[in-house]
Structure 1
Amino acid sequence: MSPPAGPDPARPPGVLALAVQLRLLGVRPRHRLLVHAALGGTGLRAEALRDALIGVLGPHGTIVVPAFTAENSLTSSAHLARVAGLTDAEKALFRSRMPAFDPARTPSQGVGVFAETVRTTPGAVRSAHPQTSFAALGADAARLCAGHRRESHLGEESPLGKLCWEGGQVLMINVGFSACTAFHLAEYRIPKPPLRMYDCVVKVNLPGGGQGEEWTVYEDVALDDGDFAEIGKTFPAARMRGGRVGGAPATLFSIPDAVDHALDWMTENRR
């Protein structure tokens, strides 16, 4: 007689176990949840985590993830690193071949496999910002992603701003506060935040039909996450719930609490 088969991580019990852990952490139905997850080395499957979150949040809840893109921008640190050392002619050639941002097709970059899994799930919606778009899945996905202004990367007129005003939460799995996007909203709320220019290429609809490409230049807050880890160290533990999801460390907290704390810290410590 052959021994009984062990648990299959691709089967529903894996999803159910994750759902129980998410509930123990504090995730509840109807929540609007901004998720940052780094699944490498954890053994967690992106699809299983997504399905567990869908099950816990229920039909009236919403998952939101960053779907950022930096490779279509002349002003991003990612682009500047790639063209460092090139001649002017080589930079011009590189620029002519840069892919334009298309919300429906451009993959997210640097935000992990879980975010990309959510973005490509049937029914997911993506905001139209060419640099800091968000993808969402669930009841409020379309509303949260609508009207994302270019001059508001991570400000009030972005999905992050809406999540804050509506009492959304952040779920971080296997990541630290250096990746806490919510802190960026505080940068828009400090008095006279520093500004900078951004330059990127986007897909546009042509008058006669079809699509073309267009370079767009706009001004927005000069975003800086260099001190986010330090801000996170002073975030009161009483405002967070910690635990483990699939064996990985996880933290759940309110977006308004995070933004308020970051604003206080930046007001005192940034010059």
Structure 2
Amino acid sequence: MPEADAIDEVDDPVTVSTLVSDLRELGVGAGDTLLVHSSLSSLGWVAGGPPAVVDALQEVLTEDGTLVMPTHSFQYSDPSWWENPPVPDHWVDIIREERPPFRPEVTPTRGMGAIPECLRNYPGVRRSNHPTSSFAAWGAGAEEVTEDHSPSFGLGDGSPLARVYDRGGKVLLVGVGYDRNTSLHLAEMRADIDLEEETYAFPLVRDGERVSVEYTDATTSTEDFEAVGEAFEAEIGATKGTVGAAECTLIDQPSLVDFAESWFEANR
């Protein structure tokens, strides 16, 4: 969104203090484990930009809480299936062999937005060691959420998504829909449905050296995620509200995952 349009979205600047007030009114509380999917532009004009949003979330959650965001880096997916845009066939092996290894502290996010990219650089933040599907976390449960992220099925039971589930966490959608809700991928992985599986390889650093690690993953889809969200809200419910200028949804993550698992089995 152009900056002039962001100014027009709000009567007054969105600030850390107004974000804190809006988040608390929505139902985010101290000590929560909160998985956030976000659009900075949806908030309107934010004084200070992404750090203001991160600061507000940390203030509301306190150090007893845990803030989690996806920090995916799809540039480390297999180049043979890139489509937007594709690369020439003769580039594929070169990319596989020559791209630098994934490093949690260095590798930028891709397509995640400004707020997760900001969070991953914050003091005290931990990032899981998965080249395509990493998550960053801050707070009391940061280590628990991010450690031992399984290379295979990176959004399944060996992922930070499952750790958020185990902690009874919440999902906060800030100006985005269920198509951005990664917890639904956990439900896909748990559901008794047919998912195509493929084996890939990615470069990591181990003991100071670049190594290639093979992993298996399932081909997932977000095409019906909005339908899942609509059905969940109709049957179970979610909290709706406004943070800044953004329409937001606050969801109990285990309830959503359990509902979606059954929904996928019945509707796919």
TM-score (norm 1): 0.86
Q: Which residue of 2 aligns with 1:225?
A: 222
- Higher mean C-alpha displacement, 220-229 vs 157-166: 220-229
- Higher mean C-alpha displacement, 162-171 vs 219-228: 219-228
| Alpha carbons of structure 1 residues 223 and 156: separation in structure 2 relative to 1, 3 Å | same
Q: CA deviation at 1:142?
A: 1.0
C-alpha contact 1:197 1:217 (8 A) present in aligned 2: no
Distance 1:61 1:17 in 2: 20
Q: Work out whether 1:115 is the aligned partner of 2:116.
A: yes
Q: CA deviation at 1:57?
A: 0.8
In the TM superposition, what are the counterparts of 1:109-258 in structure 2 within 5 Å? 109-191=110-192, 193-206=194-207, 210-212=208-210, 214-237=211-234, 239-258=237-256
Q: CA deviation at 1:76?
A: 7.5
Letter in 2 for 1:95: R
Unaligned runs of 5+ in 2: 1-10
C-alpha contact 1:239 1:257 (8 A) present in aligned 2: no
C-alpha contact 1:167 1:256 (8 A) present in aligned 2: yes
Of 58, 61, 70, the match for 2:65: 61
Of 38, 42, 45, the match for 1:43: 45
Q: Which residue of 2 aligns with 1:4?
A: none
Letter in 1 for 2:249: T
C-alpha contact 1:125 1:145 (8 A) present in aligned 2: yes
Unaligned runs of 5+ in 1: 1-6
Distance 1:195 1:220 in 2: 8
| Alpha carbons of structure 1 residues 193 and 164: separation in structure 2 relative to 1, 3 Å | farther
Distance 2:159 2:96 in 1: 28
Q: Which residue of 2 aligns with 1:3?
A: none
Distance 1:17 1:87 in 2: 50
In the TM superposition, what are the counterparts of 1:18-97 in structure 2 within 5 Å? 18-40=19-41, 42-44=44-46, 45-74=49-78, 77=81, 79-84=82-87, 86-88=88-90, 90-97=91-98
CA RMSD of aligned residues (A): 2.1
**Secondary structure of the residue that 1:137 maps to in structure 2?**
strand
C-alpha contact 2:193 2:264 (8 A) present in aligned 1: no
Distance 2:204 2:92 in 1: 21
**Secondary structure of the residue that 1:35 maps to in structure 2?**
strand
**Secondary structure of the residue that 1:235 maps to in structure 2?**
helix
Deviations 1:109-132 (A, max 9, x none): 111111111111011000111211
Q: CA deviation at 1:158?
A: 1.1
Q: CA deviation at 1:58?
A: 1.2
Distance 1:107 1:70 in 2: 10
| Alpha carbons of structure 1 residues 147 and 91: separation in structure 2 relative to 1, 3 Å | closer
Distance 1:249 1:57 in 2: 20
| Alpha carbons of structure 1 residues 183 and 75: separation in structure 2 relative to 1, 3 Å | farther
Q: CA deviation at 1:8?
A: 9.1
The percentage of aligned residue pairs carrying the same residue is: 35
- Higher mean C-alpha displacement, 217-226 vs 166-175: 217-226
In the TM superposition, what are the counterparts of 1:253-268 in structure 2 within 5 Å? 253-268=251-266
Distance 1:247 1:120 in 2: 25
Letter in 2 for 1:186: A
Distance 1:76 1:121 in 2: 34
**Secondary structure of the residue that 1:258 maps to in structure 2?**
helix
Distance 1:186 1:261 in 2: 8
Deviations 1:32-69 (A, max 9, x none): 00000011253232111111111111120010000111
